[in-house]
Amino acid sequence: MKRFLLSGFVVLVILMTSLAACVPQAATQPAPSTPFPSTQTSLPPAKTPEPTRNAPEFAVELSELKDLQIQFLHPWTGDMLDELVSMVDEFNQTNEWGIHVIMNAPGSAAMVSSKAWEGIANDQPANILAASPSFLLTIREKSDLLINLDSYVNSTSYGLSKAEIADFVPLYWDEDNADGTRFGIPAQRSALFLVYNSTWANELGFTAAPRTADELRTQLCAANASFRENADPVDDGLGGWLINTEAATMLGWLRSFGVEPYDGEKFEFSGAANAAAFEYLVDLKLDSCAWTGKPSRDVEYFTNRQALAITVWLQDLEGLASALKRNNSTDQWTVIPFPGADQQMVITTGVSYGILHKTPAEDLAAWLFIRWLSQPAQQARLLKANPTLPISAQVMSQNGFQTALPQWTAAVELDEFFVSPPVTADWQVVGPVLEDAGWQLLRAETTVAQIPTLLVELDSLAKDLAERHP
């Protein structure tokens, strides 16, 4: 039998092999004339009195911080970027030390990765890096630049109090800790849900949202059957779940079926529970209870009642609500977890702040800015600009960030079902492997009988790429 995944990973394997070196070599990446150009238009920092204190814990005289510039590399765009520009301007003008933050916003997580390695290779890394925990761990494993933040968090003068630490959602706080050391501070978290048309389901005879995989299957298949009843054969495949095969989706299905693919040391996808999850998805597809549409048209299908359920990130809910309004839809809809045999799961993922070592003064300045960004008042401003998940409890009491969208509130209240992706640098390469397996499973002509072979191949490729990384 042909190996199902190899054809889909030739480019990925080549890419990850090229990244396996400890640090990308400067010879392969020409140094830019301005490694970290500013994307903001902030005014020069306000003049402040010369500090007289020092920071003995970090061997830094606070006078060293005055007029010190630090680089902040992050992936955010749109309203989030606009709000960050305003916040950085405020910090630059008001912080007591005279620190000046310069932002670099290349426009995506992929570009942040590229810029981060470029800076490291040219010995000009950004001071602050906003990236996924798995990418921060990759930085830590490939270089000695990522700082252990424990000394800053626990500093008697500049750290976080016990109450401030306890205020962070434990799930997100723990994601930035590995091997007993803190490598990051949560910056933003989102979650992936199923979006479900309650009104349409009620018309099909269902009075409650599905809570198990079997209940979901029954409702999805009923939606498809409603299309088969009409005289138009063209739409006979519509109605159910609109297939989504990204890594977080596939992980959500596996977790809902009781699968823990990472045991703290290695990934393993073969086994009965994994097979059951994959068989469930294939059966949905083969029975026309799940279907594949054109890319980037999920919202359109949902608003037109061509899909009873789609997969949506939390920050996309407002866009979905706007699309329904434009379509003059009066349908009621909600978010639900991925349902399994006897449990439900929601995958959360996001961005954390890490500090790359340059000088003791720059490291301290970077920490002071991160600490400021992490305060509930600043968190609330960022949430207002980009409604994702609150990363601390106190932010819920801040005025102005709460969206009027009831589905956002419903999503946040599903926190009992939230689970993290594997906290390991290897997730950087294994995640795409899982996504490709999902493509093979649900977008290619894979049968139930071929699933065991697919899982073995998934294990093999995951193991091979993890061994090459870093």
Provide CATH code, domain 191-348+422-468.
3.40.190.10
d(CA 432, CA 248): 10
Q: Which of 118-127, 332-341, 362-371, 403-412 has the lowest mean pLDDT?
A: 403-412
Q: How many CB atoms lie within 10 A of CB 267?
A: 22
Higher-pLDDT residue of 356 and 19 is 356
CATH 3.40.190.10 in the chain: give the residue spans. 25-189+351-403, 191-348+422-468
Q: 104 has which bridge partners?
A: 73
**Residue 194: is it exposed, middle or buried by C-beta count within 10 angstroms (0-12/13-18/19+)?**
buried
Q: Supply 185's token pair.
A: 């501070």
Strands (E), 127-235: 128-131, 177-178, 181-182, 185-197
Overall average pLDDT of the 178-204 stretch: 97
Residues 6+ apart with CB under 8 A from 317: 195, 335, 387, 405, 407, 408, 411
Overall average pLDDT of the 428-442 stretch: 95
* Model pLDDT, residue 42: 35
Q: In CATH terms, is domain 25-189+351-403 a member of 3.40.50.300? A: no
Closest CA to 313 of 265, 347, 286: 347
d(CA 134, CA 136): 5
d(CA 21, CA 14): 13
The two beta strands, 69-73 and 128-131, are parallel
Q: Which of 101-105, 400-404, 429-433 has the lowest mean pLDDT?
A: 400-404
* Model pLDDT, residue 443: 87
Q: Dihedral, CA atoms, 227, 228, 229, 232, nearest 10 degrees?
A: 80
pLDDT tier for residue 54 given thresholds of 50, 70 and 90: low
Closest CA to 249 of 309, 294, 308: 309
Whether 278 has a pLDDT exceeding 90, the answer reads yes
The two beta strands, 344-355 and 290-291, are unpaired
* Model pLDDT, residue 55: 57
* Model pLDDT, residue 401: 59
Render pLDDT for 304-325 as a digit per residue (tens, 0 to 9).
999 999 999 999 999 999 999 9
Overall average pLDDT of the 387-400 stretch: 83
Q: Dihedral, CA atoms, 331, 336, 338, 342, nearest 10 degrees?
A: -120
Q: Which of 266-280, 354-368, 394-408, 454-468 has the lowest mean pLDDT?
A: 394-408
Q: Percent of the chain having pLDDT more than 90? A: 77
d(CA 137, CA 428): 9
**Largest Cα span, the chain:** 83
* Model pLDDT, residue 396: 78
Residues 6+ apart with CB under 8 A from 146: 136, 139, 140, 183, 354, 355, 356, 357
d(CA 347, CA 217): 20
Q: Supply 374's token pair.
A: 């992490």
* Model pLDDT, residue 399: 57
**Residue 239: is it exposed, middle or buried by C-beta count within 10 angstroms (0-12/13-18/19+)?**
buried
Whether 207 has a pLDDT exceeding 90, the answer reads yes
Strand, helix or coil at 355?
Answer: strand
Render pLDDT for 95-152 as a digit per residue (tens, 0 to 9).
999 999 999 999 999 999 999 999 999 999 999 999 999 999 999 999 989 999 999 9
Asked if the peptide bond before residue 470 counts as cis, ω within 30 degrees of 0, the response is yes
Indicate the pTM of the whole model: 0.85
